Chain A
Amino acid sequence: MRRKISWDDRLIKWFYDVPGVVDEHMRAEVGRLSLRALAFMFVYDLLSGLVLSLWAVRSQTTSFELLFYIALAVQIVGLFAITIFGVLIPLSRSGIFWNEVTPEERPMVLRRLRHRWLWLAPTIFVTEWLLNSAIDYEQGNFWRLLFSWSEVYSALRFALLLGLFMYAFERRRIRVVKNSD
């Protein structure tokens, strides 16, 4: 049954990397948890902003650069904690992230996954290699940096580790479902 996919459904599918169809149950679950996360994030932002402001005003600190980094760290930690514990873990418990396949489909799905990472890993390597060299540009000539062994090795290591981790992660999401019941 072909239905038109709304932009909200596309967003859910992309953001949460949902393998299956986005149906009303998934929308309800995502909506409920996202609302909870929004409320927590709002309160957290207010409180952390208040505490940091009070600390900046009341303390004798003159190192505002340090204060900036602390504020940034507090924001990032809070954002990740609320997203992971408030949304992603409850969603994963409901089975939304599983890629359910029948026993007949499993070999084909595994093959497709391997082929996907065979071209994704080199793409990650090239992107990381170029970005890393570009960001390190202040340290020297870009082209000399680009073709230095340390940059290539660093990008290769990153691509390998990330590629292996993501392949194992996506493979673990595959669940075989008997087609009889």
Chain B
Amino acid sequence: MNQVREYRRARHLSQLALAEQIGVARQTVNLIENDKYNPSLDLCLRLARALGTDLNTLFWRGQDEEKD
């Protein structure tokens, strides 16, 4: 699972507020947080910038979490 939800909550942002900030629909943020949608690199970068972190921290999966 990615860390989007944790970082969003740490910044006291709602899904709606984050979605407006990065220019997507709220459902897309929800899908990303629940690992049901793989965002493009551009969207990942926008997310990382909006949440004040980097791609590695936000999206990196450990070896034991790697999906087949």
- The tally of CB-CB contacts under 8 A between chains A and B is 48
Kindly name the residue among A3, A23, A102 whose own CB sees the greatest number of chain B CB atoms within 10 A. Answer: A23
A84–B43 alpha-carbon span in the complex (Å)? 31
The answer to the question of A25 belonging to the interface, with a C-beta cut-off of 8 Å to chain B, is yes
In-complex Cβ contact of A25 among B14, B21, B37 (8 A): B37
User: Contacts A179-B14, A179-B17 known; A94 to B27 CB distance under 8 Å?
Assistant: yes
Q: Are A102 and B27 in contact (CB under 8 A)?
A: no
* Nearest CB in chain A: distance from B38 CB, A: 10
**Taking CB as reference atom, which chain A residue is nearest B12?**
A180
How many residues of A are counted as interface, with CB atoms below 8 angstroms from the partner's CB atoms?
19
Residues of A within 8 Å of B62, CB to CB, are: none
CB-contacts of B1-39 with A (<8 A):
9, 14-17, 20-28, 31, 37, 39
Q: Are B16 and A20 in contact (CB under 8 A)?
A: no
**Taking CB as reference atom, which chain B residue is nearest A18?**
B25
Q: Are B16 and A25 in contact (CB under 8 A)?
A: no
Residues of B within 8 Å of A178, CB to CB, are: 14
Interface size band for B: 10 to 19
**Taking CB as reference atom, which chain B residue is nearest A26?**
B25
**Taking CB as reference atom, which chain A residue is nearest B26?**
A100
In-complex Cβ contact of A24 among B9, B17, B43 (8 A): B43
Q: Are B23 and A21 in contact (CB under 8 A)?
A: yes
Which residues from chain B sit less than 8 Å from chain A, CB to CB?
9, 14-17, 20-28, 31, 37, 39-40, 43
12 new A-B contacts at CB < 8 Å, known A3-B23, A20-B26, A24-B24: A1-B22, A20-B25, A21-B24, A21-B25, A24-B39, A25-B24, A26-B25, A26-B28, A94-B27, A95-B27, A177-B26, A178-B14
